[in-house]
Structure 1
């Protein structure tokens, strides 16, 4: 019997792996009326957990400053466990670098906004991210080396 195995791509679990909030200049920072400068740094990585199971991790650091004074610093690691089976090897890397981050990003965005609001500040609304472009850019850099 020549039975065709169907590709499997499923989300097993989404979770916040790490969350950090710092307000080093509280309580006086709450008296500031200037609009802060927001700096957002986003990164990602993945690892194999078991045969066909992968953890994908998005990490964001959001820093808000007024001049040189830090209003707040938030770091969030949003993770997901994905099951990928019967998929050609050349398609797994794009799934881990594009598909999985696209699924995780709304959760990361919500975690950042929520923690910033709970800290007493207006929410930080992160703009959508083009993970496909980031993936291809990183791949091109890796292929050069």
Structure 2
């Protein structure tokens, strides 16, 4: 076997591209909301989605919706979808799912986090830094829930 043939058979994982897929910020009560002095309440939703786009190429999207309220009033709503295109060749099939559910979101999340922080500042609010996410724990929890058989009564 030639050296080139051996290299072609080695497992390979590459980042092809990282990009903002969708981003928006709404400040429904501006400018009055800037006069509010009530403490902020935050609701952060985070989801991931993975799709095959070609042989050995996958798009992984990390989506976040952040809602900030002052009392009952929505101060702002931020929605960000940050995505990446990843190449995975020569990787065993059983390793693809955790790669797409854990490794890829871990790569994308810091960019999404920075986008949310930047949006809050540009919107006239204090910077919001999203807490780190343990994508491995989320993946393991989801797998455990899928493994538990549904009971009917």
**Partner in structure 2 of residue 123 of structure 1:** 127
Match of residue 73 from structure 2: 69
Query: Is it true that 1:23 corresponds to 2:24 in the alignment?
Result: no
Per-residue CA shift, 1:86-135, capped at 9, x if unaligned? 00000000000110000001000000000111000001111110000001
TM-score using structure 2 length:
0.91
Is residue 44 of structure 2 the alignment partner of residue 49 of structure 1?
Answer: no
Output the CA distance in 2 between the equivalents of 1:105 and 1:26.
29
Task: Give the root-mean-square deviation of aligned CA atoms.
Answer: 1.2
Secondary structure of the structure 2 residue equivalent to 1:48: strand
Normalising by the residue count of structure 1, what TM-score does the alignment of the two structures yield? 0.96
Does 2:17 match 1:13? yes
Correspondence for 2:82 = 78
Of 3-12 and 124-133, more deviation after overlay is shown by: 3-12
Length, aligned pairs only: 145
Unaligned 5+ runs, structure 1 = none
Q: C-alpha separation between the residues in 2 aligned to 1:44 and 1:111?
A: 16
Is the radius of gyration larger for structure 1 or structure 2? Answer: 2
- The CA deviation at 1:44 is 0.5
Residue in 2 that maps onto 1:141 = 145
Q: How many Å separate the matches in 2 of 1:80 and 1:51?
A: 16
Q: Distance in 1 between matches of 2:80 and 2:22?
A: 6
